[in-house]
């Protein structure tokens, strides 16, 4: 049987990894897919540049539309990233009757509903395992491996840059800016790190995970997103003293009122396995009603880890080339006409526990004023850690852990506490989750 011909959009880090993995493991991949797979055409901005991988047998072009319009290709792999022209290229490939594999989380999170509808109409597949958590097969695990379960919640470290920064802050006691510079020097962070450190990248990925877990449309604009730039070394230290670690989590949860989708720094008990995922590694914890909690761990980025997921998607597509389009695994796990209109909860309605750090005048009665305000908002305190001022007459640091409460109540309480004459500056607030099954 002739090999399946495939086109590649982008020959950067992941594109190169895909070429390498397909060549190195060609025989094994053919045994799994049932036939050979050949990259015959690819687009790149610079087709003259010397590359550290073999491009022999691949026709190179600067125009990606030449690839998606090639009638000989059955599959187009989109690895250029961003929203445009990726969206236009993918929709054109679908319109041309080609299956699509992509690692583009922003594209799927923001335009996936449109793309999947077009693919459904044309009877082609869009595979996107590499869009979330690099080489970890988390999409397949939720969509297929956990298909018997009602997913109750998931929580993930799904951005390696942020995890590296928080790990280094903990291990070295260094401030955020210093560790960010180190991450940039090592190539873990971009020159403009906004997408990583402000949680936008994680929000793209969480949008996809939530849609697959709960059978809802992709709704990136409804994800609450908060970055890690305000985390100070003392917060990491105080969290450790209280038995917690700070991780930048994406959390999706099904509640009686609707679905929570939120990305923010989170205290989690140090004994949890996910709390011990360090450096640039990713991990996703999924809780199903039948199986309980399951943890998926691995490399969230990099040439070959991401290529591993890309090639796995290609194999899946090749396996189904002759199958009935009506009986393929649905893009978002649930049949297209069975997606739910569950509401997405605004952050004010989310319930969680909190870590609070405040600087206060060192005099009797200050803590009583703070606890009175918390009590007025029905906020119960779990633990208090008060640090003596460094010298007589200087301000003291107060650390509070609260029980679970609605965010709206906490917002009102913090506004009232901040207005007290005895409180200095802003109050640091970090949410806390125990992640119990």
Topology adopted by domain 4-135+303-338: Rossmann fold (3.40.50)
Place of tokens 């054109």: 92
3-state class (DSSP) for residue 274: helix
Q: What is the pLDDT of residues 277-309, one digit of tens each?
A: 999 999 999 999 999 999 999 999 889 999 999
Least confident of 165-174, 215-224, 381-390, 407-416: 381-390
Q: What is the pLDDT of residues 113-133, one digit of tens each?
A: 999 999 999 999 999 999 999
In 3D space, the residue among 260, 157, 143 whose CA is nearest the CA of residue 207 turns out to be 260
- Phi first, then psi: give them for residue 19, nearest 5 degrees: -60, -45
DSSP 8-state code for residue 344:
B
CA 417, CA 382: separation in Å to the nearest integer? Answer: 18
Q: 155: which 2 tokens?
A: 């929580």
Residue 324, pLDDT > 80, answer no
CA 9, CA 11: separation in Å to the nearest integer? Answer: 7
CA 91, CA 96: separation in Å to the nearest integer? Answer: 9
pLDDT of residue 264: 98
Least confident of 247-251, 309-313, 323-327: 323-327
Every domain range in the chain assigned CATH 3.30.360.10: 138-299
Q: Which H or E run contains 22?
A: helix 13-24
- Which pLDDT band holds residue 331 (cuts at 50, 70, 90)? confident
pLDDT of residue 76: 98
- Which pLDDT band holds residue 322 (cuts at 50, 70, 90)? low
Every domain range in the chain assigned CATH 3.30.70.260: 347-432
Topology adopted by domain 347-432: Alpha-Beta Plaits (3.30.70)
pLDDT of residue 21: 95
Residue 260, pLDDT > 90, answer yes
Place of tokens 């999706």: 252
- Following DSSP, what letter does each residue of 66-92 receive, concatenated? HHHT-TT-SEEEE-S-SSTTHHHHHHH
Return the percent helix, strand and coil in the chain, to nearest 5.
40, 25, 35
- Which pLDDT band holds residue 377 (cuts at 50, 70, 90)? very high
Place of tokens 């210093």: 178
Residue 310, pLDDT > 90, answer yes
- Which pLDDT band holds residue 237 (cuts at 50, 70, 90)? very high
Q: What is the pLDDT of residues 13-31, one digit of tens each?
A: 999 999 999 999 999 999 9
Q: 362: which 2 tokens?
A: 């060192």
> What share of the chain in percent tops pLDDT 70?
99
Residue 326, pLDDT > 70, answer no
- Furthest CA-CA distance within the chain: 84
* Bigger pLDDT: 419 vs 393: 419
Please tell me the number of Cα atoms within 13 Å of 118 on its side-chain side. Answer: 21
Place of tokens 């929570």: 260
Residue 265, pLDDT > 70, answer yes
pLDDT of residue 338: 81
pLDDT of residue 394: 86
- Which pLDDT band holds residue 370 (cuts at 50, 70, 90)? very high
Q: Which of 98, 105, 205, 247 is catalytic?
A: 205
- pLDDT, averaged across the chain: 94
State yes or no: is 5 an active-site residue: no
pLDDT of residue 321: 83
pLDDT of residue 372: 96
**217-234 average pLDDT score:** 97
Q: What is the pLDDT of residues 60-116, one digit of tens each?
A: 999 999 999 999 999 999 999 999 999 999 999 999 999 999 999 999 999 999 999
**211-220 average pLDDT score:** 97
* CB distance 263 to 109 below 8 Å: no
Q: Provide the CATH number for the domain formed by 138-299 in this structure.
A: 3.30.360.10
pLDDT of residue 323: 67
């Amino acid at each position: 049987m002739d090999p399946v011909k495939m086109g590649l959009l982008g020959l950067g880090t992941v594109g190169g990894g895909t070429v390498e993995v397909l060549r190195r493991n060609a025989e094994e991949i053919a045994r799994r897919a049932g036939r050979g797979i050949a990259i015959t055409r690819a687009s790149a901005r610079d087709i003259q540049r010397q590359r550290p991988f073999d491009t022999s047998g691949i026709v190179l072009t600067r125009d990606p539309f030449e690839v998606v319009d090639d009638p000989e290709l059955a599959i187009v792999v989109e690895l250029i990233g961003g929203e445009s022209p990726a969206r236009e290229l993918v929709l054109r490939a679908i319109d041309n009757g080609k299956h699509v594999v992509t690692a583009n989380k922003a594209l799927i999170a923001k335009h996936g509903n449109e793309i999947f509808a077009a693919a459904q109409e044309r009877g082609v597949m869009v595979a996107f395992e590499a869009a979330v958590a690099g080489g970890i097969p988390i999409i397949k695990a939720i969509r297929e491996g956990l298909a018997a379960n009602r997913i109750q919640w998931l929580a993930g470290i799904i951005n390696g840059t942020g995890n590296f920064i928080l790990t280094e802050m903990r291990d070295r006691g260094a401030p955020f800016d210093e560790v960010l510079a180190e991450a940039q020097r090592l190539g873990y962070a971009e020159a403009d790190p906004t997408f990583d450190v402000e949680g936008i990248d994680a929000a793209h990925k969480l949008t996809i995970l939530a849609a697959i877990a709960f059978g809802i449309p992709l709704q990136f604009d409804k994800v609450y997103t908060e970055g890690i730039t305000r985390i100070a070394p003392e917060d990491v230290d105080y969290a450790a003293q209280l038995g917690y670690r700070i991780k930048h989590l994406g959390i999706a949860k099904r509640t009686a009122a609707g679905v929570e989708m939120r990305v923010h720094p989170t205290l989690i008990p140090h004994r949890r396995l996910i709390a011990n995922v360090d450096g640039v590694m990713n991990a996703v914890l999924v809780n199903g009603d039948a199986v309980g909690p399951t943890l998926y761990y691995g490399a969230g980025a990099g040439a070959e880890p991401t290529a591993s997921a890309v090639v796995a998607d290609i194999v899946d597509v090749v396996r189904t080339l002759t199958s009935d389009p009506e009986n393929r695994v649905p893009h978002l796990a649930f049949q297209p006409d069975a997606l739910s209109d569950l509401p997405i909860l605004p952050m004010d309605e989310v319930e969680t526990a909190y870590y609070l750090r405040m600087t206060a005048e060192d005099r009797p009665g200050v803590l009583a004023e703070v606890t009175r305000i918390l009590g007025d908002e029905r906020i119960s305190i779990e633990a208090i850690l008060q640090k003596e001022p460094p010298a007589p007459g200087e301000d003291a640091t107060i650390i509070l852990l609260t029980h679970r409460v609605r965010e709206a109540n906490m917002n009102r309480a913090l506004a009232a506490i901040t207005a007290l004459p005895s409180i200095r500056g802003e109050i640091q607030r970090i949410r806390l989750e125990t992640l119990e099954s």
